[in-house]
Amino acid sequence: MINIYTINFVSIIFYYILVSIANRYVKKIENFFYCIASMQLFLLVALRNNSVGTDTYRYCEYFEGIRFFGYTKEFGYGFLMKGINFFSSDYRVFLFITAALSIIPICIFIYKTSSNAFISLLIYISFFYNFSFSGIRQSIALSFLVGAVSVYFNKPKLSLILIFIATSFHYSSMVFLCIYFKRYLNVFLNKISILSSFVIAIFFLSPTIGEFFIKFFYSDYTISQWGSDNYMLFSTGILSLYLFFVLKLNLHKNFSNTEKLSFFSMQIAFILFPTISHISNALRLVNIFYFFSTIGFVKIISFFDTTSKLIIQIFVITFLLSFYVYLTAFTGDLLRLHPYTTYLSR
């Protein structure tokens, strides 16, 4: 099914093909097309009507009523709403500003840190982008968290401040403190790999640990009715992927600091996923760490030779396109993405 989301995705693939062909002749053409792709992602979220996205209408109602009723949850998000409302009570201004805070920092982070910005951007669109239409608070929090990762090695105090700001937008961001304190553990990733493998084994045997952990952040969680066979199947699959990444990480040492931190975040995600995958809404916690697979996974591709790299990229793009078409065409109603309308049209 053709829709605006699929057209947007395919256009970015087209940009990447153009960049791959023209990059050898025209330098900095990648910057131009990446900016266009980023602007498309931003405008699609910024110009949406309040009917697009599961929680968008409710967010807009909170925004328009905050002057009279206040906001009693995360104080950072409440402060932002009051600040915007001071200048304009129009929900369209609110959606535009929150979209800028949600999308632009992510695109900048990917461009500066990824070994292949376009592939990373496609991964981000496939697995995380659609959530930004509904999860405004957590999307903004994620932007502050990627900022925390960006300055982690040069300005650790600022990194900690950004984590706390992210927590003020969504309490689940508090779990990202484990990334910050890794600095003081002074443990290399290969040692962390051994430790986290042991932790995974414990969590396999004790899934209730995850339930208790999630309840701290989500009081309205529910346990889904997955059978033990499905649970173990997913756990085994995630563990296999985890071991693959750890193996690659130990074979290659030429990682930047940000890439090492991205791999560490992925390892935490692989620990959490088997533990809480059977809990409704709990995957939001995992996604905080899984986001950094947009950097780590692409780095692994760069280790292959030119021919293998091309084949892998074609396979990855084909898979991502198929997955995203399915996601938006057949499950888009779960996030109320259809029909897409803008507030520019009545």
φ/ψ (deg, to 5) at 342:
-110, 160
> What is the pTM for the complete model shown?
0.81
Same domain, 298 and 309: no
Same domain, 2 and 125: yes
Q: Is the model more confident about 201 or about 43?
A: 43
H/E segment holding residue 59: helix 56-69
Same domain, 26 and 120: yes
Beta-carbon count within 10 A of 86 CB = 9
| Residue 161 within any structural domain of the chain | no
φ/ψ (deg, to 5) at 161:
-60, -40
Residue 68: the pLDDT is 54
| Residue 280 within any structural domain of the chain | yes
Please count the structural domains in the chain.
Answer: 2
| Residue 165 within any structural domain of the chain | no
Range of 194's domain? 187-303
Q: What does the alpha-carbon distance between residue 319 and residue 310 come to, in Å, rounded to a whole number?
A: 14
Q: Measured at the alpha carbon of residue 200, what is the angle toward residues 198 and 206, in degrees to the nearest 5? A: 110
Instruction: Give the pLDDT band (50/70/90) at residue 306.
Output: confident
Residue 205: the pLDDT is 45
Res. 128: pLDDT tops 60 = yes
Res. 257: pLDDT tops 50 = yes
Residue 327: the pLDDT is 79
Same domain, 312 and 295: no
Residue type at 284?
A: R
pLDDT one-digit tens code per residue, 183-205: 655 544 445 554 554 555 455 44
Same domain, 121 and 77: yes
- Residue ending a domain, choose from 288, 303, 318: 303
Instruction: Give the pLDDT band (50/70/90) at residue 101.
Output: very high
